[in-house]
Amino acid sequence: MKSIKICVFGFCFMMLSASCSAKHVLVRDSQIKDTVKTQSSSVAPSNALLMLTFARKVYDAQVYSSNITGSMTFNLVAGDKNITVPGSLRMRKNQIIRLQLFIPLLGTEVGRMDFTPDYVLIVDRIHKQYIKADYNQIDFLKKQGINFYSLQALFWNQLLVPGKDKLSDSDLKDFNVNLNEKNQNVPLILQKGQMNYCWEADKTSGKINKATITYRDSKFGTSRLNWNYSDFANVGVKQFPATQVFEFVTDASKQVRKVKVSIEMDKVETDSDWSTETQLSSKYTQIDAQDALGKIMNM
């Protein structure tokens, strides 16, 4: 049971750790004007049009469905811990990202993580504890880097611009697209202050195979989130990655820390018959987000 608890809170820790790196960017960006310019402003109009056309192609590769659901195998690797449990992924566009973890064989839910536009909810069924806080309370990438809509873009295999829930052509023009790339994957790069976003998209289909978000600072070190997509399954006329592997690496605390999560869906479905609400009885005790991080750090 203890290992399952580590699995529940370990994923939360990875997301919260990413937020700590991003909030340093907010402090710096509030003091200085972002002078980074995309290369599209300095190249020939014809090349700029080609870059925009490819960025449009990548953005349009996203699935049309409002729901993505399916059972999954969830694996967490952190330090000397390597834990695998069955689970479920349920997502409803612009409303919620939900991950549920179950006891192997029994199928009883032991943990749940809900990410909504307004709050984050992490439930520990074993110890009857939960965390519920809005993004501002826990510095959770609300103002810079990754808020709910950015997380949604990563889970849904899409391009993102920090703070945007939809991208227009004017947003897509900010992406620097390396059309001279000889490999099958074409890099699309977006620079925002000290945050660098890079997607690698298939030059033929436009589907995203990898996303990398990097934060570099002479004082706070380097933090990187690598997000890989594979095993694409048909969802209508589009495709969705049944396997997602994301890894957060940082040396911001003077030592390198790494957390890796793998989600392997058995089947990608579009079921809409489920509720986005999570009801908790009075038996559950709310704990502070920092308390949860402390527990993880001491495990």
> Domain limits at 205?
48-55+65-272+281-298
Residue 146 pLDDT: 59
Is 70 exceeded by the pLDDT of residue 129?
A: yes
Span of 34-38, 133-137, 270-274 with lowest mean pLDDT: 34-38
The CATH number covering residue 214 comes to 2.50.20.10
Span of 28-42, 167-181, 268-282 with lowest mean pLDDT: 28-42
Q: How many domains does the chain have?
A: 1
Please state the pTM of the whole predicted model.
0.83
Q: Is residue 3 part of a domain?
A: no
Q: Is residue 115 part of a domain?
A: yes
Q: Is residue 33 part of a domain?
A: no
Q: Is residue 7 part of a domain?
A: no
Is 50 exceeded by the pLDDT of residue 140?
A: no
Q: What would the pLDDT profile of 169-194 be if each residue is shown by its tens digit?
A: 999 999 999 998 889 999 999 998 88
Q: What is the mean pLDDT of residues 238-247?
A: 98
Q: Are 277 and 95 in contact (CB under 8 A)?
A: no
Q: Is residue 159 part of a domain?
A: yes
Q: What would the pLDDT profile of 46-70 be if each residue is shown by its tens digit?
A: 899 999 999 999 999 999 999 999 9
Residue 289 pLDDT: 72
Q: Is residue 30 part of a domain?
A: no
